[in-house]
Amino acid sequence: MKNELHKATFAGGCFWCMVKPFAEYDGIESIKSGYMGGTVENPTYDQVKTGETGHTEVVEIIFQPAVFPYEKLLELYWQQVDPTDDDGQFQDRGSNYRAMIFYHNDEQKILAEQSKKVLIDSGRFTKPVITPIIPAEIFYIAEEYHQDFYKKNSNEYEADRAQSGRDEFIQDHWK
């Protein structure tokens, strides 16, 4: 089943910063930026960024588990977020930027919960690890200009990321 494809969905703040860390691995077939949760069908970026629709910015990753298992995606995910922050990520504040793991089946739920427990038990963070693990909902793809933003608008991406505080946090907690 080497070519079998699965789906993973993660929220970790601005979706621009959540694509690149996953993009360069064998077994990752595609990554799309979009929105999940919320009450508005087919929301726009302008609607979601108000924080009033209930959506969260997410990345939907299509992957080959035989090549890049879900457990490795989870390891990489935790290293991109502050799992102790329940009101956004880094410079991006509000519920639309919170960190969340959306599971697509029972196996993903179990593996995500196990990985969260390992993280908690590691003592890496002094504050509680509170990232929710919840069922996936309808994925709404973001506007085209958000897709692969780090490639299409590399200067803007690098400037935004540099001022976000994300890289310093990752360096302090994971390197």
Which residues belong to the active site? 14
Q: Match 């179990």 to its residue by tokens.
A: 110
**Per-residue three-class SS string for 70-130:** HHHHHHHHHCCCCCCCCCEECCEECHHHCEEEEECCHHHHHHHHHHHHHHHHHCCCCCCCC
Tell me if 21 sits within 8 A of 12, measured CB to CB.
no
Query: Rounded to whole angstroms, how far apart are CA atoms 64 and 67?
Result: 5
Q: Match 């973001």 to its residue by tokens.
A: 142
**Per-residue three-class SS string for 49-73:** CCCCCCEEEEEEEEECCCCCCHHHH
Which amino acid, residue 71? E
